Structure 1
Amino acid sequence: MSNSPSPNPVLLLHGFTGSVAGTWQPTGIIDLLNDAGREVIAWDLPGHGSAEKHHDPAGYADMEAKLVERLAAESGDQPVDGVGFSMGARTVLAMAAMAPERFSRLVVAGVGRNLFEQDLEQAERIARGVAGEADSDDVHAQTFARYAAEPNQDGRALAAFMRRKHAPLGPEQFAKITHPVRVVLGTEDFAGSADPLLDALVDASYTELRGCDHFATPKNFGFIDAVMEHLEVF
């Protein structure tokens, strides 16, 4: 009988206006991980999909810390591999900085230079967009508004989520993330160059998705291949 330890569970976190049903299930990545013997932990972020929704930004206070507590309750002492897209990528990085012992390998997609640029004006435009108040010529906000209109989403809750106080993610936090991290970014992604993020991380590698934009990333075979390779799923 083999006494080898069981493989790490995999935490999947979707992006802003996404959900487990809309981001991960259609791609088959959950089934691929399960078939490889990996337990999958996939949550709808607060304010999204089937999760609890608040219309006050204060309702999302300390979200990342609360997710760390939830992860501890679900995974016990075993570390997990984390996969995040866009807002989910930022969230998993913040969680790994808060509780490094709870994570092993990380894959973060749809993030790069944008993690280092706090554009409060753009964030407010997006919040207005998901609440149904975007200007007709604001293409970026209108794009998010279309995703916010999908089933099980609540535009007011998403706007409050966008306006919440984010957990810090800067040099102090990045220094605590010593895990091997794969950064995946499309060449057409508005998140910008991956270079600032690669430079900030202690142990980073990079997968470029040629011709891929932000919202197409989770469905891109290159992204799925990068997840399987980096998490050593065989």
Structure 2
Amino acid sequence: MESVMLVHGWGGSFESTWQRSGFAALLQDGGKAVIGVDLLGHGTAPKPHDAEAYGDLTERIVDALPDEPVSAVGFSLGASTLLRTAIAHPDRFERIVLAGIGRNVFERDHSGAALIADGLRSLIDGADPSTLPQSVRVFAQYAQQPGNDLIALAAVMSRPAGFEVDAAAISAVRCPVLVVVGEQDFVYPADELADAFPDGRCVTLPKTDHFATTESFGFFDAALEFLGAI
């Protein structure tokens, strides 16, 4: 049975992103074995409060890789971490779906992450959520899911920058890659990212924002077809 690894985004988990939406079950109905990964600081994984602990988020993915090449789906932080893993270990992947990343891969601006981390810390200190900037408030609301550790999530946002990802590095990933992005996502467009892969393609989801991506029927259809699960 072919396996598909699922990697959630910041503030999510395997359970909240992939099981609750029914996507994992649909993969299983399509004859795939599912490998769920919780990134460090999320879900069932350890949640250190030191930002330096999050210097290499790929370790949780590498540790979960089976011996044979695997297909994988990542969303947002999970997608960018999956991309870094595939660049370092291109022979370990058969097909990859990257959702919720696009132009942000090449436009490395960490100011937004710093604002979100500061916003989370202010909430921990008792600040009124309504005083946060709207762009930060959306992330803060998403972070406050059951089981989340706001200090750990702030530390993830403050993590050291990893190696620079550019078109030359991405060209090492030679398996088929599908990039899925909502047209109302702050990372839109994603055509440049898809074009950087030797075998890349892009699907844009109409009227879809970042956090709605993994619950979109358009995402389900595109990803399941690409993975051969329908």
Q: Tell me what 2:126 maps to.
A: none
**What is the alpha-carbon distance in structure 1 between the residues aligned to residue 225 and residue 120 of structure 2?**
35
**What is the alpha-carbon distance in structure 2 between the residues aligned to residue 211 and residue 69 of structure 1?**
34
Determine if the alignment matches structure 1 residue 159 to structure 2 residue 149: no
**What is the alpha-carbon distance in structure 2 between the residues aligned to residue 129 and residue 49 of structure 1?**
21
Q: Tell me what 2:25 maps to.
A: 31
Q: Which amino acid aligns with 1:156?
A: I
Count how many residue pairs are aligned between Structure 1 and Structure 2: 224
Mind listing any 5+ residue stretches in structure 2 that lack a counterpart?
124-128
Shift of 1:135: 8.0
SS in 1 for 2:178: strand
Q: Give the alignment partner of residue 96 of structure 1, picking from 86, 90, 93.
A: 86
CA RMSD of aligned residues (A): 1.6
- Structure 1 residues 113-166: Cα deviation after superposition (integer angstroms, max 9, x where no partner): 111111122110011223345782511111111111111111110111111124
Q: Which amino acid aligns with 1:140?
A: S
Shift of 1:70: 0.5
Q: Is the 8 A contact 1:68 1:99 kept in 2?
A: no
Q: Which amino acid aligns with 2:69?
A: P
Q: Is the 8 A contact 2:114 2:158 kept in 1?
A: yes
Paired residues for 1:3-152 under 5 Å: 6-7=1-2, 9-64=3-58, 66-72=59-65, 75-76=66-67, 78-133=68-123, 136-152=131-147
SS in 1 for 2:131: coil
Q: Is the 8 A contact 1:81 1:231 kept in 2?
A: yes
Q: Is the 8 A contact 1:131 1:158 kept in 2?
A: no
TM-score by length of 1: 0.90
**What is the alpha-carbon distance in structure 1 between the residues aligned to residue 94 and residue 120 of structure 2?**
34
- Structure 1 residues 16-39: Cα deviation after superposition (integer angstroms, max 9, x where no partner): 111112111122111111122211
Q: Is the 8 A contact 2:61 2:82 kept in 1?
A: no
**What is the alpha-carbon distance in structure 2 between the residues aligned to residue 125 and residue 99 of structure 1?**
32
SS in 2 for 1:167: coil
Q: Is the 8 A contact 1:57 1:164 kept in 2?
A: yes
Q: Tell me what 2:200 maps to.
A: 204
Deviates more, 1:134-143 or 1:82-91: 134-143
Shift of 1:192: 2.1
Q: Which amino acid aligns with 2:29?
A: D
**What is the alpha-carbon distance in structure 1 between the residues aligned to residue 162 and residue 85 of structure 2?**
9
Q: Which amino acid aligns with 1:34?
A: Q
Shift of 1:87: 0.8
Shift of 1:61: 2.4
TM-score by length of 2: 0.92
Deviates more, 1:33-42 or 1:167-176: 167-176
Q: 1:15 to 1:185 in 2, by over 3 A?
A: same
Mind listing any 5+ residue stretches in structure 1 that lack a counterpart?
1-5
Q: Which amino acid aligns with 2:62?
A: E
Q: Which amino acid aligns with 1:165?
A: P
Q: Which amino acid aligns with 2:98?
A: V
**What is the alpha-carbon distance in structure 1 between the residues aligned to residue 176 and residue 7 of structure 2?**
18
Q: Which amino acid aligns with 1:112?
A: G
Q: Tell me what 2:190 maps to.
A: 194
**What is the alpha-carbon distance in structure 2 between the residues aligned to residue 215 and residue 143 of structure 1?**
9
